[in-house]
C-alpha cells in the first residue's frame, strides 16, 4: 500500500515538473504530451517552388496544419464541450485551390496588413509608391503579399509543453514598392494548453513600414456550419477607427459607447450587424485598451451550440474585426461553399493606414530595431 502511494506520488511529481502526461495504473497526471510535428508534400508553385504542409498536434486533441505557402493555417482542429473535434477555420484541401486565389484565408498578411491609402506614404522625406490592388488603395502587402510567397520552414523539436514551426522570409528592398531588405520570422507554436501562439519578428536595413498579422477566418461551430452571426463576441476596445467608402480610416477615433461597435460587454455578432453603416457588416479596426506593447487581453468569442471559446491576447495596439462580408459563394472550401458571414476574422495589428496618419501608433521599423509582436489564440469550452 505504502509502495503504491510512493509510486503514485513520484508520478505526480514527475508529471508536474515535466508539465507532461504520466500514466500509472490507468491514472493520468499532468498535461497532455504526444506533442508532434510532421511534414508532407503540398505540391509546387507555378515557378516550381516546393511547398509543404506541416501538421502540429498536442496531447489534447488539438491539431493545426500550416503550409509554408503564405504561412497559411489550412486546418485547425479543436474539441467542443462534448469532445467532438471539428475544423474551425475556413480554407481548402489543396495547394491548387490556394493558388487559384482566395480572400487571404489563414494567411500571413504583410508587409503591411490592411490598407494604405492610394498606395502611398512618405518616410524620412521620401515618397514611396506601393502596388495598388484594392480599388485605388493598397491592401495586405500588394499584388504578391506575404500570403503568396513561399516561406522557408524549420520544424522545431517537440517539447513536453509545445511544438513549433518557424517560418522565415526575406522581403527584398523595393518588393511591392516597400523600402528596405526585411528579414521576417514568424513562429507558430501549439501548446499543451490548447493555445496557438504566433510570434512575429523582423529587422530591416532601411527604415520601412511594417504590419504583420494572421488572416484566419474562424467559425467556432465548424468551418462548414454556415454563418457566424450567433457567436458571442467581447472586445477589449473602447474606441474604433471609422472609415470612408474605400475602407480607409478617416483619422478620427470614435467611442464605441452606445453604438453597434460596442462589444465591451458580450453581444452576438449578428445582433446589430445590419445596422453597421456602409460596409455590409463589420470591417473595422478597434483600438485596443492596452496600448503599451505588453501582452494583453484582446477578445473573447463564444459559440453557444458547441461551447467552444476562443480567447485572444496580443501585444498589438489594434484588431481588425471583419465578418466575411465579401464572401459570396465563389470559394468552395473543405467540402462546403463559403457564403457571406460564414467566418469572422480578428486580425491583431497596427491600425490601417498608419503610415499616413501620424497620430496613430507608429508602424515604422528602423534599422537596428527588432519588430517583435505576439498573438495568442487560446481555445477552451464552457
Ligand atoms: C479587410 C477586408 C478585406 C478582407 C479580405 C480584411 O482584413 O479588412 O476589407 O475584404 O481582409 O481581403
**Confidence (pLDDT) at 21:** 35
CA-based nearest residue to 87, from 317, 324, 370, 306: 306
**Confidence (pLDDT) at 22:** 31
Distance 247 CA to ligand 1 centre (A): 9
- Can you tell me the distance from the alpha carbon of 44 to that of 204, in angstroms, rounded to the nearest whole number? 29
Question: Is there a catalytic annotation at residue 284?
Answer: no
Residue 17 in contact with ligand 1 by CB distance below 6 A: no
| Rounded average pLDDT over 103-127 | 98
Residue 130 in contact with ligand 1 by CB distance below 6 A: no
CA-based nearest residue to 74, from 334, 344, 331: 334
The pLDDT of residue 89 is above 90: yes
| Rounded average pLDDT over 265-287 | 96
Q: What is the pTM of this model?
A: 0.92
**Confidence (pLDDT) at 26:** 23
Distance 253 CA to ligand 1 centre (A): 20
- Can you tell me the distance from the alpha carbon of 344 to that of 146, in angstroms, rounded to the nearest whole number? 21
Contact call for residues 89 and 77 (beta carbons, < 8 A): no
Question: 120-177, pLDDT tens digit by residue?
Answer: 999 999 999 999 999 999 999 999 999 999 999 999 988 999 999 999 999 999 999 9
Residue 171 in contact with ligand 1 by CB distance below 6 A: no
Of the residues 176, 303, 347, 373, only one is catalytic, namely: 347
Question: Is there a catalytic annotation at residue 215?
Answer: yes
pLDDT confidence tier of residue 47, bands split at 50, 70 and 90: very high
The pLDDT of residue 65 is above 80: yes
Q: Looking at ligand 1, which atom is closest to the CA of residue 139?
A: 12
- Among protein residues, the one whose CA lies closest to atom 4 of ligand 1: 103
Least confident span in 18-32, 118-132, 270-284: 18-32
Residue 322 in contact with ligand 1 by CB distance below 6 A: yes
The pLDDT of residue 18 is above 50: no
Distance 123 CA to ligand 1 centre (A): 25
Contact call for residues 242 and 254 (beta carbons, < 8 A): yes
Distance 28 CA to ligand 1 centre (A): 45
SS (H, E, C) the chain: CHHHHHHHHHHHHHHHHHCCCEEECCEEECCCCCCEEEEEEEEECCCCCEEEEEEEECCCCCEEEEECECCCEEEEEEECCCCCEEECECCCCCHHHHHCCCCCCCCEECCECCEEHHHEEEECCEEEECCCCECCEEECCCCCCHHHCECEEEECCCCCCEEEEEEEEEECCCHHHCCCCEEEEEEEEEECCCEEEEEEEEEECCCEECECEECCCECCCCCCCCCCCCCEEEECCCEEECECCCCCECCCCEECCCCCCCCCCCEECCCCHHHCCCCCCCEEEEECCCCCCCCEEEEEEECCCCCEEEEEEECCCEEEEECCCCCCCCEECCCCEECCCCCEEEEEECCCCHHHCCCCCCCEECCCCCEEEEEEEEEEEC
Residue 104 in contact with ligand 1 by CB distance below 6 A: yes
Residue 283 in contact with ligand 1 by CB distance below 6 A: yes
**Confidence (pLDDT) at 157:** 87
pLDDT confidence tier of residue 59, bands split at 50, 70 and 90: confident
Domains of the chain in start order, with CATH, are 3-381 (2.70.98.10)
Residue 273: what are its φ and ψ, rounded to 5°?
-60, -35
Exposed e or buried b per residue across 129-146, where buried means at least 16 C-beta atoms within 10 angstroms of its C-beta: ebbbbbeebbbbbbeebb
The pLDDT of residue 345 is above 90: yes
267 strand-pairing partners:
233
Residue 90 in contact with ligand 1 by CB distance below 6 A: no
**Confidence (pLDDT) at 30:** 35
Query: Residues of the chain with pLDDT > 90: what percent?
Result: 90
Contact call for residues 196 and 186 (beta carbons, < 8 A): no
| Rounded average pLDDT over 331-342 | 97
| Rounded average pLDDT over 58-77 | 97
- Can you tell me the distance from the alpha carbon of 324 to that of 226, in angstroms, rounded to the nearest whole number? 12
**Confidence (pLDDT) at 336:** 98
Q: Among 72, 139, 281, which is best to mutate for testing ligand 1, by the most ligand atoms less than 8 A from CB? A: 139
Q: Looking at ligand 1, which atom is closest to the CA of residue 347?
A: 7
pLDDT confidence tier of residue 33, bands split at 50, 70 and 90: low
Question: 204-237, pLDDT tens digit by residue?
Answer: 999 999 999 999 999 999 999 999 999 999 999 9
Query: Residues of the chain with pLDDT > 70: what percent?
Result: 91
Residue 347 in contact with ligand 1 by CB distance below 6 A: yes
Taking CA atoms, 185 is separated from 98, 106, 241, 299, 321, in Å, by 22, 17, 29, 25, 24
Q: Among 72, 102, 114, 316, which is best to mutate for testing ligand 1, by the most ligand atoms less than 8 A from CB? A: 114
Distance 227 CA to ligand 1 centre (A): 17
The pLDDT of residue 348 is above 60: yes
pLDDT confidence tier of residue 76, bands split at 50, 70 and 90: very high
**Confidence (pLDDT) at 376:** 99
239 strand-pairing partners:
255, 287
Distance 324 CA to ligand 1 centre (A): 8
Q: Give the mean pLDDT of the chain.
A: 92
Amino acid at each position: 500500500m505504502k509502495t503504491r502511494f510512493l509510486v503514485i506520488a513520484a508520478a505526480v511529481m514527475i508529471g508536474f515538473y515535466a508539465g507532461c502526461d504520466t500514466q500509472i495504473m490507468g491514472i493520468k497526471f499532468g498535461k497532455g504530451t504526444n506533442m508532434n510535428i510532421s511534414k508532407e508534400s503540398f505540391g509546387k508553385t507555378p515557378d516550381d517552388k516546393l511547398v509543404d504542409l506541416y501538421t502540429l498536434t498536442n496531447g489534447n486533441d488539438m491539431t493545426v496544419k500550416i503550409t509554408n505557402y503564405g504561412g497559411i493555417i489550412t486546418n485547425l482542429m479543436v474539441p467542443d464541450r462534448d469532445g467532438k473535434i471539428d475544423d474551425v477555420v475556413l480554407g481548402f484541401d489543396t495547394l491548387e485551390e490556394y493558388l487559384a486565389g482566395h480572400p487571404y484565408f489563414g494567411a500571413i498578411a504583410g508587409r503591411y496588413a490592411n490598407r494604405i491609402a492610394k498606395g502611398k506614404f512618405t518616410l524620412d522625406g521620401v515618397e514611396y509608391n506601393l502596388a495598388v490592388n484594392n480599388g485605388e488603395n493598397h491592401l495586405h502587402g500588394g499584388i504578391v503579399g506575404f500570403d503568396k510567397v513561399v516561406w522557408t520552414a524549420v520544424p522545431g523539436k517537440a517539447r513536453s509543453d509545445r511544438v513549433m514551426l518557424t517560418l522565415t522570409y526575406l522581403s527584398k528592398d523595393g518588393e511591392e514598392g516597400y523600402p528596405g531588405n526585411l528579414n521576417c520570422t514568424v513562429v507558430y507554436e501549439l501548446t499543451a494548453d490548447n493555445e496557438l501562439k504566433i510570434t512575429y519578428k523582423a529587422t530591416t536595413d532601411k527604415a520601412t513600414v511594417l504590419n504583420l498579422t494572421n488572416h484566419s477566418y474562424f467559425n467556432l461551430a465548424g468551418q462548414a456550419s454556415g454563418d457566424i452571426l450567433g457567436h458571442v463576441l467581447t472586445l477589449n476596445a473602447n474606441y474604433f477607427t471609422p472609415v470612408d467608402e474605400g475602407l480607409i480610416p478617416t483619422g478620427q477615433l470614435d467611442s464605441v459607447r452606445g453604438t453597434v461597435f460596442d462589444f465591451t460587454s458580450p453581444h452576438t455578432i449578428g445582433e446589430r450587424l445590419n445596422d453597421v453603416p456602409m460596409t455590409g457588416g463589420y470591417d473595422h479596426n478597434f483600438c485596443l485598451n492596452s496600448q503599451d506593447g505588453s501582452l494583453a487581453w484582446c477578445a473573447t468569442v463564444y459559440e453557444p451550440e458547441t461551447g467552444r471559446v476562443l480567447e485572444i491576447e496580443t501585444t498589438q495596439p489594434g484588431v481588425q474585426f471583419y465578418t466575411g462580408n465579401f464572401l459570396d459563394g465563389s470559394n468552395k472550401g473543405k467540402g462546403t461553399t463559403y457564403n457571406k458571414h460564414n467566418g469572422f476574422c480578428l486580425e491583431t495589428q497596427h491600425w490601417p493606414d498608419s503610415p499616413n496618419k501620424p497620430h496613430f501608433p507608429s508602424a515604422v521599423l528602423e534599422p537596428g530595431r527588432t519588430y517583435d509582436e505576439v498573438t495568442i489564440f487560446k481555445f477552451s469550452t464552457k
